[in-house]
Amino acid sequence: MANWRPLENDHQKINNLYEENLQRKEQGSDAQGYLKPADGDLKPPAVYILNHEEFPGKPRKGSANDVEALTKTFKKLKCKVEVVPNPTRAIVHDKLKNLTKKKFDHPSGLVIVILSHGSRREQIQTCDNKSYNLDDDVLFPLFDNESLSGKPKILIVQACKGSWRASMESDSKKNQKNNEPYIKCYSSSEGFLSYRNESNGSIFIQTLCDKINQDGMKKDFRSIIEDVKVSVQKLSISQGYKQTPSVNSNLTKRFCFGDFVQNG
């Protein structure tokens, strides 16, 4: 009996299968992550920046540099960016109330950046010398927005988490619904200061923007944040202090801004 030999078109099919399997191995089974642009032509995440800058007696000089860098970075990724300047606690409350009701059918996720003074247990100060909590007042209410269900909620915070020092000016001073994907990226670790340069902005935000500009089109966000942590720690040590960003996340799959730029 003659040995079976594939026809030319069979060869092509085999080669295609081989290439597909190779790509799966290289990319991982969850390479597309939570969402795919093809699924409803999802757009890049919506971005909101809460810039608490003007405080009585202790303005956060340099925060405008962070706002500028963040705005440029996210707009390059075709994200729609809204800046909320110097919000009081009431304004923050109203903004989050609106976000819990807003329809995010087209954005692939939500990014909220908070620039402020802060303290332990993720308390954020407002410009009227009041405060709000990152979990109770920001993250958890977002879980009630059905249009964000299954979409990553990305919180980025430039603020102290205490008064311990690990020079530059410092920013010192529950039950989760289902398993909604989120990641909280804090500029410092619990109990420690976070540093900001009056001329250039904060080391955390500036490094984050640099890394997103460099790798945002190809790397998943969690990997970028891990790179930021390493870079901030090394850079801060070289300048005579130590700052270690902290991350709290339940993301189990990749989320890459670059996957949605073409639909922006």
pLDDT, tens digit, for every residue of 71-130? 999 999 999 999 999 999 999 999 999 999 999 999 999 999 999 988 888 899 999 999
Give the pLDDT of residue 191: 62
**Residue 68 confidence (pLDDT) above 90:** yes
Classify domain 40-263 at the CATH topology level: Rossmann fold (3.40.50)
Contact of 137 with 93, CB cutoff 8 Å: yes
Candidates 144, 56, 33, 54; CA nearest to 98 is: 144
- Helix-helix angle 203-215:221-238, to 10 degrees: 140
The lowest-confidence range among 22-26, 127-131, 217-221 is 22-26
Determine if the pTM surpasses 0.75. yes
| Residue 201, both tokens | 């902005």
The domain ranges of the chain are: 40-263
Is the model's pLDDT at 174 over the cut of 80? no
For the chain, give the percent of residues with pLDDT over 90. Answer: 62
Within 10 angstroms of residue 30's Cβ, the number of other Cβ atoms is: 11
Classify residue 51 as exposed, middle or buried by CB count within 10 Å of its CB (0-12, 13-18, 19+). Answer: buried
- Shortest CA distance to 169 belongs to which of 192, 127, 197, 193? 197
Lowest-confidence region among 141-150, 169-178, 193-202, 231-240: 169-178
